[in-house]
Amino acid sequence: MMIEISQFGSERVRKYRLVNVAGMQVTLTNFGARIVEVLVPVEDNGALRNLTMAASSDEEYLTKDSYPGATIVPVAGRISGAQTSIKGQVHFFTENEPGRTLHGGVNTANEQYWEAEVDEEANAVCFTIELRDGFNGFPGNVHVKARYRLTEDNVLEVSYTAQSDKDTIFNPTNHVYFNLTGDVNQDIAEHYVRIAAQTYAPLGESNLPLGRLEPVEGTPFDFRTGGTFAQGFGLEHPQNQLVKGYDHPWVLDQVAEPVEIVSPDQKIRLTVETNQPAVVIYTYNFPSEDMAAFHGAFSLECQGLPDACNQEGFGSILLEKDQLFEHQTRYSFKWQ
């Protein structure tokens, strides 16, 4: 199908609309290599329901919240001490929170205009950017590709590839937010959630992982047999109290579809497949209320464990010189 291209705010930004035979649509923008909308024809009158938190232009994202839907590179999540050691050499990063680096620092790729290439035969758009050596302190010129493809069986495929000319660290994710009711001013508490995970990473006061994994069993983090976000919104567990909901990584079991979310009206089912070891789910506990309500959306950030570069036993996010990095995540949608 033809991919429709339109302006999306300032002169440099474009929006790309992918459509499949089922009537599903995905809109993307080169501003932050970002998912803008995921629309499915589920309403009784045949109207489309948008399942994501979205803004109407690059200016609106910059003014309100620049993370929703964006590609987060080079490193998603927080880096403790705003530093790490890479093969014995200490590197210091931009502090954009006190004593730590969040989502790669300031003015990074989620606020940049990526190059775009349309592949109408594949119903895909590929965005590319060059992360310059030393930007926000990260070593290496890193060439990054973000590719989005909408399949005919209602799967949004997200893939990231990267290569660096120096040893560096790299742990990307997509920061799309969902609310399957179609209304980000509605609380997500009654969404059904299933996560195939035996452990999660508890956080400390600075929202950094404490450096250990704990069993989900007997906690509001246990979604192995299904539950709702409401089980953590009562804030009875200290970890939920700390962040006013969820903002935690789960270590995923190696199964085909480790994450499943169903809308409260049971009309929409979203499942996630990924080659990444963890998913971070953030329930928009500190909202930009012009974008969405408190607990009005949830993220599904598939990635390596946050702060893995500084936490023993959290796996490696080292990207060696000339090594090819590959990340695949598939969001599958069914509706009735």
What is the model's pLDDT at position 177? 98
Q: How far apart are CA 298 and CA 261, in angstroms?
A: 10
Average of per-residue pLDDT across 142-168: 98
Q: Is 175 a catalytic residue?
A: yes
Rounded average pLDDT over 187-193: 98
Catalytic residue, chosen from 37, 95, 157, 301, is 301
The whole model's pTM is what?
0.98
Is 91 known to sit in a ligand binding site?
A: no
pLDDT of residue 44: 85
Candidates 175, 191, 248, 295; catalytic one? 175
Total number of domains in the chain: 1
Query: Does 177 carry a binding-site annotation?
Result: yes
247 is in an annotated binding site: yes
Active site residue 4: no
For the stretch 274-329, pLDDT in tens is 999 999 999 999 999 999 999 999 999 999 999 999 999 999 999 999 999 999 99
Taking the C-alpha atoms of residue 6 and residue 184, their distance in angstroms, rounded to an integer, is: 24
DSSP strand E in 151-226: where? 155-164, 168-169, 173-174, 177-178, 192-195, 197-200, 214-215
**DSSP code, position 306:** T
Residue 21 CA neighbour count, 13 Å, CB half: 3
In contact, 32 and 114? CB cutoff 8 Å: yes
The answer to whether 176 is annotated as binding is yes
pLDDT tens-digit readout, 115-140: 999 999 999 999 999 999 999 999 99
Average pLDDT, stretch 192-209? 97
Domain that holds residue 225: 2-335
- Average pLDDT of the residues in 36-59: 96
CA neighbor of 77 nearest in space, from 43, 100, 50, 54? 100
What is the domain-level CATH number for residue 323? Answer: 2.70.98.10
